Amino acid sequence: MNSVSRKATLAVSGIAAAVGLSMFGAGAASASPLLPYEGTVYSSLGKCLTVGNTLAQKGAIVTFTCEPRSNGRYAFYYTT
């Protein structure tokens, strides 16, 4: 009987560990991405658009704008 009890305990422990790891993985995957600060200034329109398009394709932001600043720089603003 002792052997059966140990096997059952090991089986339950293995299942609990697998469930715990899968829940941990799901939590890590669903963590929100790191977003740039509102109004981050980029040295060119191309860089600003690249950041915005990349974040939009990932679903991290809904809309964005690149507003012109002095010396050909652009400020990045977005909505989530």
pLDDT: is 34 or 62 the higher one?
Answer: 62
Question: Could you tell me if residue 72 is left (phi over 0), alpha (psi between -120 and 50 degrees) or otherwise beta?
Answer: left
The string of pLDDT tens digits covering residues 23-49 is: 444 444 444 557 888 899 999 999 999
Q: Judge contact between 49 and 78, C-beta under 8 A.
A: no
First to last CA, the chain: 58
Q: Cα angle at 39 between 35 and 42, to 5 degrees?
A: 85
The predicted pLDDT at position 58 comes to 93
Phi, psi of 75 (to 5 degrees): -95, 140
The predicted pLDDT at position 18 comes to 45
Question: Is 0.85 surpassed by the pTM of this model?
Answer: no
